[in-house]
Amino acid sequence: CGQCVQVCPVGALSIRDNTDEVYRQTAAGKTMVIQMAPSVRINLAEALGQKPGTVSTGKIVHALKKIGFYKVFDSDFSADLTIMEEGTEFLKRLKEGGTLPMFTSCCPAWVKYCETYGPDLLPHLSTAKSPQQMFGSIIKTYFAEKEGLKREDICSVSVMPCTAKKFECKRPEMKDDVDIVITVVELAKMIRTAGIDFDNLEDAEFDVPFGLGSGAAQIFGITGGVMEAALRTVYEVVTGNSLEERLEFTAVRGFEGIREASLQIGDLTVKVAIVHGLANAKKVLELVREGKADYHFIEVMSCPGGCIGGGGNAPTTWKKLAARRDAIYQEDRNLPIRKSHENPYVQQIYKEFLGEPLSEKSHELLHTHYISRRDLIR
Ligand code: SF4
């Protein structure tokens, strides 16, 4: 409809620009490590003047190296990790009669909304941290140990489509796992200020071992993507059957504000809902509170369209969102690995460090808790 949908989901009227902090920490000699969210590769070139849906993954990696980052990693890796943890938590709740429907927890604006307007429903939220925070935790522990660094030697930065991620990384329970969050618009500004000829940059590769993500992780950037990624893994884990050509769950896709779908997984018909935009989230919270939502799993993303419509991107319209959507689904189709549990680096980190999903170590590093923020509205 051409309606402008740029939003600040946490309601912060002035969004702090953190680019100076990146330069300060680089000058202070910190080991600069950055992760890039799934939708950033879809949205960055547009913020620099190219047409919506222009994918520029390799150029962004190269630009970040030129800016001075020692390692450039892909948040797609930790999106895969999120699916392993959140998917296993979902199955545990199903098997053991835990609180259902389970809500996704990777959108910090939604988490804060739930803490403020639905504290009675907090047991429904998955305890899995967001991919940004899971990555931060792994960088300051596993990665630091491998590199022979102390956590305070590292400055962990993330480039996100999102202004709410700046709030999330400062939550006390997240420690200093992510030190600085910059948005797509801020990174575009850094690239321009540094005089980098972005359009003519050669592609560069992400660093290993956290530079590989699946197609399932890639679609985290769009409404319905987290649900689709989770279903790809949960289906195969429960049934032991490969999805093969039925990998794309088109029933959870689309821009309708509230969507629902059912999927036969073994003996169980799993009923899911997908919600984007906080006005729609409010409606679903009410349904759950009244016991009228017979879903098992609900994905909520605060921004219209999901992260491709996040407030840290260039201004958004529905037409631009459609171009970004097409690009993100194409990226999924282009990737050789399209299911989170098949990411070999995810398998490796469980083997070497975490043990298994929901292990004690995973709980310590990859899960969190929530608080009531009801006071904020008194
Ligand atoms: Fe941030 Fe994405 Fe949530 Fe928007 S939908 S607030 S961009 S995590």
Q: What angle do CA 128, 228, 214 make, to 5 degrees?
A: 80
Q: How far is the CA of 265 from the centre of ligand 1 (A)?
A: 29
Look up residue 62 and give its two tokens.
């190269």
Q: For the segment 211-255, what is each residue's pLDDT rounded down to a tens digit? A: 999 999 999 999 999 999 999 999 999 999 999 778 899 999 999
**Looking at residue 3, what is its pLDDT?**
34
Question: Annotated catalytic residue: which of 145, 152, 173, 286?
Answer: 173
Q: Is 221 in the pocket of ligand 1 (CB under 6 A)?
A: no
Q: CB atoms < 10 A from the CB of 141, how many?
A: 16
Ordered mean pLDDT values, 10 residues apiece, the chain (378 residues): 39 73 97 98 98 98 98 98 98 96 98 96 98 98 97 98 96 97 98 97 96 96 97 94 88 97 92 97 95 96 98 96 98 96 97 98 98 84
The burial of 6, by beta-carbon neighbours within 10 Å (0-12 exposed, 13-18 middle, 19 or more buried), is given as middle
Q: Is the distance from the beta carbon of residue 277 to the nearest atom of ligand 1 less than 6 Å?
A: no
Ligand 1 proximity of 305 Cβ (cutoff 6 Å):
no
Ligand 1, atom 8, residue with closest C-alpha: 107
Q: What is the DSSP string of 127-138?
A: -BPPHHHHHHHH
Determine whether the shortest distance from the Cβ of 301 to ligand 1 is under 6 A: yes
- Distance separating alpha carbons of residues 164 and 142, to the nearest angstrom: 26
Q: Which pLDDT score is estimated for 375?
A: 85
Active site (annotated) includes residue 89: yes
C-beta of residue 299 within 8 angstroms of C-beta of residue 273: yes
**Whole-structure pTM value:** 0.94
Ligand 1 mean position, distance from CA 60 (Å): 20
Q: Which of 71, 85, 106, 129 is catalytic?
A: 106
In the set 129, 165, 166, 320, the catalytic residue is 165
CA of 354 to the centre of ligand 1 (A): 27
pLDDT at 7: 44
Q: Kindly calculate the radius of gyration of the chain based on its CA atoms and give it in whole angstroms.
A: 19
Query: What pLDDT is attached to residue 15?
Result: 72
Phi first, then psi, for residue 353 (nearest 5°) are -135, -50
pLDDT recorded at residue 266: 87
In this predicted structure, what is the pLDDT of residue 246? 83
For residue 86, indicate whether it is catalytic. yes
**254 in Cβ contact with 234 (< 8 Å):** no
Domains of the chain: 19-377 (3.40.950.10)
Q: Which residue is catalytic, options 78, 105, 126, 156?
A: 126
Instruction: Give, using CA atoms, the residue closest to atom 3 of ligand 1.
Output: 107
Q: What is the pLDDT of residue 245?
A: 74
